[in-house]
Amino acid sequence: MTSAVTDNESKVIETARVFAQEMIRPQAAEWAKQGGLSRQIYEAAAQNGLVSAILPKDCGGQGVSMLAAAKIAEALAAADFGVTFALKVHANAANAVARRGTERQRERYLADMIAGRSVGAFCLTEPGVGSDATAITCRAESQGDGWLLNGTKAWVTNGAEADVFAVYAQTDPAAGWRGIATFLVDGDMAGVRRGEPYRMTSGHAAGVCDIMFEDCRLNADALLVPPGEGFKAAMAGINMARMFVAAICCGMMADSLNRALEYGVSRVAFGKPVLANQGLQWGLADVATDLAAAQGLTEKAAAVLDEGKDGILECAFAKKFTTGAAVRGISACMQAMGARGLRDEEPFGRHMAAAKMCEFLDGTTEIQNVVISRTLLRPYGIDQF
């Protein structure tokens, strides 16, 4: 598949690999325990073209294909999920401003976001609302020529650092999903409050926390996506996000497999390398097989998005299979490492916790099954039981 990327895209993918190796890997274990990521990392990633990669060329981006963007995410995630996800969410927020924003919003936000000086985040999930995003209660009331925003958002990646939030809010509860709109909200506005970064199993570099909006007064030009379009925009973005989560899992699996092979051929037990035992070999053979399948599904999803299609089914297949394969595969790699795999110097604990997180974010495995089943049943005239 890498043959399908251009020479220029190959260079960006290689830059991502080197950035991951030199800038992320040495500090990944430390960052995985901290809340949030230092501003310098966003800026360094930006200077290496890793933020602008997916943005359109006429907005200062490089306009790389989804296929290339998937390979960039895979290369970064081989070093660490939390950093990769923080950078990915930021780049996706900049991309949303570039593609959906008004001229004024682009002028106001884009240059700083592309340079990594200003960090972006998405606020959809709420303390009481996860999978069923149509049920959000965060309220934007129309007031004169602006809006009054109230509500609490949960699980906000980059929440600890973000300068600009893309906030999904209900403008008309009676209208259901059609009432949902998206607003750009500055992190330093009166009425915006950040919770403490969550303590999680790992992945603290992603700076996940709650964000509270309390009588937050927004001007009319804070509207990014109008009511009626906001939920559709969220769903369109989520297919791409699912493909990226799949790519991230491929990166973590590949890194785990490489490390398990490297260690297992040199670690000796009972007079021979531990990988001379067929039981362990076959465990890693299963990981390699799943990895090839995971990469194939991810590349297919990316290619479908590159064709301009919504890729709902392909992205659901990729996310469902790849996240599950990563949970199984990273565990199998850890098994081949013996106790050594548990140490902080090794990536396995971080990768395994992150693979489990990936089974939840951007739609759980069960929600991927809902999406897939709906597609299977539609030809029979059944949209959902």
**Of the candidates 44, 125, 136, 129, the residue with the CA atom closest to the CA atom of residue 86:** 44
Work out whether 377 is an interface residue with ligand FAD (CB under 6 A).
no
Of 331, 364, 373, 375, the one binding ligand FAD by CB under 6 A: 364
Minimum Å gap between C-beta 112 and ligand FAD is 20
- CB 55 within 8 Å of CB 76: no
DSSP sequence for 276-321: GSHHHHHHHHHHHHHHHHHHHHHHHHHHHHHTT---HHHHHHHHHH
Work out whether 371 is an interface residue with ligand FAD (CB under 6 A).
no
* Span 140-159, contacts to ligand FAD by CB under 6 A: 155-157
Work out whether 366 is an interface residue with ligand FAD (CB under 6 A).
yes
Task: Provide the mask over 313-342, with x wherever binding to ligand FAD is found by CB under 6 A and - wherever it is not.
Answer: ------------------------------
| Integer Cα distance of 340 and 129 in angstroms | 39
Work out whether 372 is an interface residue with ligand FAD (CB under 6 A).
no
Closest chain position to ligand FAD (CB): 130
- Nearer CB in complex with ligand FAD: 184/274: 184
Minimum Å gap between C-beta 144 and ligand FAD is 29
Of 203, 230, 237, 347, the one binding ligand FAD by CB under 6 A: 203
* From 32-40, 57-65, 117-125, 260-268, span contacting ligand FAD (CB under 6 A): 117-125
Work out whether 205 is an interface residue with ligand FAD (CB under 6 A).
no
Tell me whether strands 120-123 and 164-170 are parallel, antiparallel or unpaired.
parallel
Task: Provide the mask over 342-361, with x wherever binding to ligand FAD is found by CB under 6 A and - wherever it is not.
Answer: ---------------x--xx
Of 189, 236, 370, 372, the one binding ligand FAD by CB under 6 A: 370
Work out whether 166 is an interface residue with ligand FAD (CB under 6 A).
no
Cα 56 from chain centre: 19
Work out whether 373 is an interface residue with ligand FAD (CB under 6 A).
no
Work out whether 131 is an interface residue with ligand FAD (CB under 6 A).
yes
Three-state DSSP at 229 gives coil
Of 76, 123, 224, 233, the one binding ligand FAD by CB under 6 A: 123
Cβ atoms < 10 Å from Cβ of 338: 13
Q: Angle 314-293-3 (CA atoms, 0-180°, nearest 5)?
A: 85
Minimum Å gap between C-beta 251 and ligand FAD is 16
Work out whether 362 is an interface residue with ligand FAD (CB under 6 A).
yes
- Nearer CB in complex with ligand FAD: 103/132: 132
- Nearer CB in complex with ligand FAD: 217/356: 356
Minimum Å gap between C-beta 151 and ligand FAD is 12
| Integer Cα distance of 302 and 196 in angstroms | 35
Q: Residue 261 class from Cβ within 10 Å (0-12 exposed, 13-18 middle, 19+ buried)?
A: middle
Minimum Å gap between C-beta 168 and ligand FAD is 8
- Nearer CB in complex with ligand FAD: 244/263: 244
Structure token digits, residue 372 = 């897939």
| Integer Cα distance of 70 and 16 in angstroms | 11
For the chain, the C-alpha Rg in angstroms (whole number) is: 21
Task: Provide the mask over 62-91, with x wherever binding to ligand FAD is found by CB under 6 A and - wherever it is not.
Answer: ---------------------------x--
* From 121-129, 179-187, 259-267, 287-295, span contacting ligand FAD (CB under 6 A): 121-129
Of 192, 208, 218, 313, the one binding ligand FAD by CB under 6 A: 208
- The residues that bridge with 166 in the sheet, in sequence order, are 122, 184
Task: Tell me the one-letter amino acid at 151.
Answer: G
Phi-psi region of 364 (alpha: psi -120 to 50; beta: other; left: phi over 0): beta
* b (16+ CB within 10 A) / e for 298-333: bbbbbbbbbeeeebbbbbbbbbbbbbbbbbbbbbbb
- CB 322 within 8 Å of CB 246: yes
Using CB under 6 A as the criterion, which residues of the chain lie in contact with ligand FAD when the complex forms? 89, 122-125, 130-131, 155-157, 203, 206, 208, 357, 360-362, 364, 366-367, 370
